[in-house]
Amino acid sequence: MTAQKENNVAIECRGITKRFGSVVANDKINLTVRKGEILALLGENGSGKTTLMNMLSGIYHPDEGSILVDGREVTINSPTDATKLGIGMIHQHFKLVEVFSAMENIVLGTRETLQKPKEMKARIEELSARFGLEIDPQEKIYNMSVSEKQTVEILKVLYRGAKILILDEPTAVLTPQETEKLFEILRRMKSEGNAVIIITHKLNEVLSISDRVTILRKGRSIETVVTSESDVHSLTELMVGRPVELSIDRPPVENRSEILKVVNLSIRKPDGALALNDVSFTINRGEILGIAGVAGSGQKELCEGLVGLLSVEKGAILYDKENIVGKTPAEIIDLGISMSFIPEDRLGMGLVAGMGMVENMLLKSYRSKKGPFVKTQPAREQAQRLIKRLEIVTPGVDTPVRMMSGGNVQKVLLGREIESSPNVLITAYPVRGLDINSSYTVYELLNEQKKKNVAVIYVGEDLDVLLELCDRIMVLCHGKITGIVDADKVTKDEIGLMMTGEQLQSESETEGEN
Amino acid sequence: MSMIIKFIVASIASGTPILFGTLGEICHEKVGHLNLGVEGIMSIGAVAGFMVGYRTDSFVLALIAAFIGGALASLLYALLTVTFMANQNVTGLTLTIFGVGLANFIGYYALQHSENGTLKLPENITAQMRNVSIPGLSNIPVLGELLFSYTPFVYIGIITALLLGYYYKRTKTGLNVRAIGENPAAADAAGIKVTKCKYLNICLGGGICGIGGAYTIMIINKGVWISDCVGGLGWIAVALVIFATWSPVKAILGSFVFGALRQIRYYMPNSIGISTAIYDMLPYAITLLVLVVTSVRMVREKSQPAACGTNYFREDR
Ligand SMILES: Nc1ncnc2c1ncn2[C@@H]1O[C@H](COP(=O)(O)OP(=O)(O)O)[C@@H](O)[C@H]1O
Ligand SMILES: [Mg+2]
């Protein structure tokens, strides 16, 4: 029995420790993955999941501890070593060469020469068919959507014959449909006897895909549980270390008074395509308006159009009855409209990576002060306040934000916008990649703003959250509005349908058309 | 007619040192390292080639020395930027100052110790580096002059460019190199030996620059040592990389255009009466123009390797 079990272990970590300067990212971590199993790795932002996986894939080298593959102790000094051991990793930030084709990326660094493109193409197509992947091998990476890029990453590791597949937050950037497709692929890998390690913050995904869950907290492996014996609450409690309330408040909207009215708005993308097509809606003070839609349906352009970053082709944006189309971003900020956008790659956008929190705060606030000099003291206090409020983990207010973990960077971005006490707060994907605890902190923050009579526009991906948090939900599809509905009178399925372009039945009836 | 042919022939010759510099810089940038030290590397190549030629009386040894001199200069650059992660711009600029200074210093020292106060390459070498004439071919009217009447440098330069073009486009190593220049983290994760590959290509680039340096002293200055022999050609070479859109083959054409700009003054009728200062300025003015135009419209594949200018450290985030 024990002998058979031994044989069954694909990879094992024993007492792995990794330090970055004074930060102990991994502290004596133990982890076992079996063949033909999907193991979920769960932990808050900064708990050391990526660091641990990077050691398995040869990016980092552990300071202490040992790694066993197929029961033999191994040293993994480089990604090549990892590949030889059959370990393949799909990184949180894709490692693809943008100007290469999918095929070039897939064969890059392997022994096969480029001389026989036909054979390689055939092999890629065979792999694609086996695992149900769809990709055009000749397509350039920069022309691909995020999920296509991910498919290339998966093909890359499959092509190298990986038996142990590691995925670092693969679903953070996928739509629910794309996620389901990915899971289908993972289940196939599992049924072929491969081991899969997946990192995700979405607990419903953990419950649906994994066989076992290992929980990390502050760099330590806390426990490993069997998925079928756990639920959202037990997992959250293990992860956070204390029971957490998992419901989102929706305080009622007091007196609806309109603050922003968008009339027949059309916006073109920089490349000339129409991103928003004749969009009209209103938003009231003290209300959260959710915006749902498949990625790339015009959400980004809407946000950027509202704050003056993109020029408007046609239509009007009335803020307190005044048309703000044509105003500069600075003027719009002065009016009290503020935006925080978390892009798909979650880097940059609004913060200067090399600067610390204090300086990033100053970037937003210095304009309102007179004179050529900046005062750092208020910004410093502001930063400290945010750290306490939002439980931001950072060595100090002057540590470059680049060094902070993704979730904490997002908190800084959102926190800074809120500190400027806006009247309209536009926030896009604020919980992208955040762990569950931080996500709830963000929801609370937004609700607080709502209670302060701020109009909040929330562009989101998770339909469950949109339904719980928002007062009304506007659905976009290909730059058009397919419905604006009250969140408590609509189902997830109905929203899903609208996202694919179907007008809601009742609505089209009232319009008397279609 | 014969005037035009002469102009073309002169332009091609005059563009050749720039071609070497550009090819060398392309080798650097393809692995993601912007080297502003081309001027200095060429100077070191020049002095190494000259001194070895002076002592050994062998053209081939002189060329090899120029290559090695340039490669060593670039090795220094690689050591600083690849291994010690020094800022590429600062290192490159420093290398220019250092290289030019070192070459002048060695030249000055040798002059002090020469018998008659001048340094000139022996006749044997000057004969070898003169225009090669290929029996039969060089005598064809027009074509013979247009194609087969150059110094060995011209042929070496063109062949190097074609080989490099093939290397980047068609070979597996070339693909690896390009991957490093675009995204070293991706290349690393794919199992490519990033550091080794960077060192090799940077040194190769330095060597090619070095031969360009040898050209300046052997052909332009006719084998007589002078200080500052490269005289700014290294800078034009760096700019020409953009003109050539990082393609070694296009660099051939680009360098001849720049060669023509440097030669045009001798082929203009005197009656036009443009001040020589204008001609001096021409290559630089065109460089500026090219910079503006190319920065406006750029296809992804034809622009600078994406990681160019930033050092790569695996554990960075
Ligand atoms: N390359 C690095 N340099 C310095 N600190 C790092 C580095 N990588 C990770 N860390 C730190 O180690 C801790 C764990 O980070 P990470 O493994 O990315 O967490 P997770 O993936 O669980 O969100 C964090 O505190 C982070 O700031
Ligand atoms: Mg992570």
The predicted-structure confidence for A44-61, as pLDDT tens digits, reads as follows: 888 899 999 999 999 999
Cα–Cα distance for residue pair B204/B206, rounded to 1 Å: 5
Considering only CB atoms, B183 lies closest to which of A20, A95, A402, namely A95
Beta-strand runs (E) in A112-257 = 164-168, 195-199, 212-217, 220-226
Output the CA A216–ligand 2 centroid distance in Å: 12
Worst-scoring range by mean pLDDT, A24-33, A226-235, B129-138, B181-190?
A: B129-138
Judged against a pLDDT cut of 80, whether residue A5 lies above it is answered with no
- Pairing, β A212-217 against β A220-226: antiparallel
Q: Residues whose CB is under 5 A from ligand 2 (ion)?
A: A 50
Q: Please report which ligand is nearest the Cα atom of A168.
A: 2
Worst-scoring range by mean pLDDT, A162-171, A224-233, A347-356, A473-482?
A: A347-356
In a domain? residue B81? yes
Mean pLDDT along residues A236-260: 84
Q: What is the pLDDT of residues A190-209, one digit of tens each?
A: 999 999 999 998 888 999 99
The highest-confidence range among A283-287, A294-298, B131-135, by mean pLDDT, is A283-287
* Two tokens, residue A278: 């004749």
Decide if A114 and B183 are in contact by the 8 Å CB cutoff: no
Instruction: Report the pLDDT value the prediction gives residue A34, as an integer from 0 to 100.
Output: 95
The percent of residues above 70 in pLDDT, for chain A, comes to: 93
Compare B141 and A128 and report the one with higher pLDDT: A128
* Two tokens, residue A385: 């306040």
Instruction: Report the pLDDT value the prediction gives residue A507, as an integer from 0 to 100.
Output: 47
Instruction: Report the pLDDT value the prediction gives residue B3, as an integer from 0 to 100.
Output: 84
Worst-scoring range by mean pLDDT, A209-218, A258-267, A319-328?
A: A319-328
Q: How far is CA A447 from the centre of its chain?
A: 21
Mean of per-residue pLDDT scores for chain B: 90
Cα-based torsion angle of the residue sequence A305, A309, A312, A313 in order, rounded to the nearest 10 degrees: -120
CA-wise closest residue to A33 among A163, A183, A203: A163
Compare B42 and B277 and report the one with higher pLDDT: B42
Q: Which domains does chain A have, with CATH numbers?
A: 3-240 (3.40.50.300), 248-338+423-431+454-514 (3.40.50.300)
CA-wise closest residue to A406 among A370, A430, A373: A430
Q: Which long-range contacts (CB under 8 A, 24 or more apart) does A440-447 make?
A: A440/A244, A440/A245, A440/A246, A440/A248, A441/A390, A441/A391, A441/A411, A442/A411, A442/A414, A443/A248, A443/A249, A443/A469, A444/A249, A445/A390, A445/A414, A445/A415, A445/A418, A446/A288, A447/A248, A447/A249, A447/A250, A447/A251, A447/A288
The SS3 of residue B220 is helix
Decide if B189 and A140 are in contact by the 8 Å CB cutoff: no
Q: How far is CA A253 from the centre of its chain?
A: 29
Decide if A57 and B191 are in contact by the 8 Å CB cutoff: no
Instruction: Report the pLDDT value the prediction gives residue B79, as an integer from 0 to 100.
Output: 97
In a domain? residue B34? yes
Handedness of CA A127, A129, A130, A133 (dihedral sign): positive
Instruction: Report the pLDDT value the prediction gives residue A436, as an integer from 0 to 100.
Output: 84
Pocket test for ligand 1, best of A13, A18, A20, A218 (most atoms within 8 A of CB): A20
Q: Which domain holds residue B62?
A: 2-307
Decide if A109 and B191 are in contact by the 8 Å CB cutoff: yes
Decide if A97 and B176 are in contact by the 8 Å CB cutoff: no
* Geometric angle at alpha carbon B60, from B56 and B62, rounded to 5°: 55
Q: What is the pLDDT of residues B78-107, one digit of tens each?
A: 999 999 999 999 999 999 999 999 999 999
Mean pLDDT along residues B50-72: 94
Worst-scoring range by mean pLDDT, A201-205, A241-245, B247-251, B295-299?
A: B295-299
Residue B83 DSSP code: I
Residue A489 DSSP code: G
Structural domains of chain B, count: 1
Query: Alpha helices, DSSP H only, in chain B?
Result: 2-30, 38-56, 59-78, 88-112, 123-129, 143-147, 152-170, 172-182, 184-189, 194-215, 233-243, 248-263, 276-296
The rounded radius of gyration (Å) of the Cα atoms in chain B is 20
Judged against a pLDDT cut of 70, whether residue A262 lies above it is answered with yes
Q: Please report which ligand is nearest the Cα atom of A46.
A: 1
The rounded radius of gyration (Å) of the Cα atoms in chain A is 24
Worst-scoring range by mean pLDDT, A345-359, B57-71, B173-187?
A: A345-359
The residues with which A42 forms a beta bridge, in sequence order, are A215
Q: What is the pLDDT of residues A382-422, one digit of tens each?
A: 889 888 888 888 888 888 887 787 778 888 888 888 888 88
* Token pair 């996500």 in the structure block, residue: A439
Which residue is closest in CA terms to ligand 1's atom 17? A48
Q: How far is CA B296 from the centre of its chain?
A: 26
Worst-scoring range by mean pLDDT, A190-194, A241-245, A384-388, B73-77?
A: A241-245
* Token pair 């200067």 in the structure block, residue: A352
- Band the pLDDT of A140: cuts 50, 70, 90: very high
In a domain? residue B7? yes
Q: Please list every protein residue whose CB sits less than 6 Å from any atom of ligand 1.
A: A 20, 23, 25, 43, 45-51, 403, 405; B 315, 317
In a domain? residue B317? no
DSSP structure string for A2-47: HHHHHHHEEEEEEEEEEEETTEEEEEEEEEEEETTEEEEEE--TTS
Task: Please list every residue in chain B whose beta carbon sits closer than 8 Å to the beta carbon of residue A113.
Answer: 172
* Two tokens, residue B246: 């990082």
Mean pLDDT along residues B253-265: 90
Mean pLDDT along residues A230-255: 85
* Two tokens, residue A213: 């869950």
Is residue A43 a contact partner of residue A218, using CB atoms and an 8 Å limit? no
pTM of the model: 0.82
Mean pLDDT along residues B157-161: 96
Task: Please list every residue in chain B whose beta carbon sits closer than 8 Å to the beta carbon of residue A403.
Answer: 317
Judged against a pLDDT cut of 90, whether residue B119 lies above it is answered with no
Instruction: Report the pLDDT value the prediction gives residue A255, as an integer from 0 to 100.
Output: 75
Cα–Cα distance for residue pair A359/A380, rounded to 1 Å: 8
Task: Please list every residue in chain A whose beta carbon sits closer than 8 Å to the beta carbon of residue B186.
Answer: 94-97, 105, 108
Mean of per-residue pLDDT scores for chain A: 86
- How many CA atoms lie less than 13 Å away from A496 in the CB half-sphere? 9
Cα–Cα distance for residue pair B160/B166, rounded to 1 Å: 10
Instruction: Report the pLDDT value the prediction gives residue B297, as an integer from 0 to 100.
Output: 65
Compare A416 and A74 and report the one with higher pLDDT: A74
A14 in B contact zone (CB under 8 Å): no
Burial class of residue A214 in the structure, from the number of CB atoms within 10 Å of its CB (0-12 exposed, 13-18 middle, 19+ buried): buried
Output the CA A238–ligand 1 centroid distance in Å: 20
The edge-to-edge listing of strands for the beta sheet with A480-486 is: A337-341, A424-428, A455-459, A288-292, A472-477, A480-486
CA-wise closest residue to A166 among A186, A180, A188: A186
If residue A67 lies in a helix (H) or strand (E), which one and from where to where? strand A64-69
Instruction: Report the pLDDT value the prediction gives residue A349, as an integer from 0 to 100.
Output: 63
Considering only CB atoms, B179 lies closest to which of A57, A97, A113, namely A97
* Geometric angle at alpha carbon B133, from B131 and B135, rounded to 5°: 175
- Pairing, β A337-341 against β A424-428: parallel
In a domain? residue B151? yes
In terms of phi and psi (left: phi > 0; alpha: psi -120 to 50; beta: otherwise), the region of A89 is beta
Is residue A265 a contact partner of residue A314, using CB atoms and an 8 Å limit? yes
In a domain? residue B314? no
Q: What is the pLDDT of residues A316-332, one digit of tens each?
A: 999 988 898 888 888 88
Worst-scoring range by mean pLDDT, A27-31, A211-215, A509-513?
A: A509-513
Compare A254 and B256 and report the one with higher pLDDT: B256
* Token pair 């707060």 in the structure block, residue: A425
Worst-scoring range by mean pLDDT, A245-259, A360-374, A497-511?
A: A497-511
Judged against a pLDDT cut of 50, whether residue A513 lies above it is answered with no
In a domain? residue B316? no
Decide if A99 and B186 are in contact by the 8 Å CB cutoff: no
Domain CATH code at residue B78: 1.10.3470
Q: What is the pLDDT of residues A319-375, one digit of tens each?
A: 988 898 888 888 888 888 877 776 655 555 677 878 888 888 888 777 666 777 778
Is residue B240 a contact partner of residue B262, using CB atoms and an 8 Å limit? no
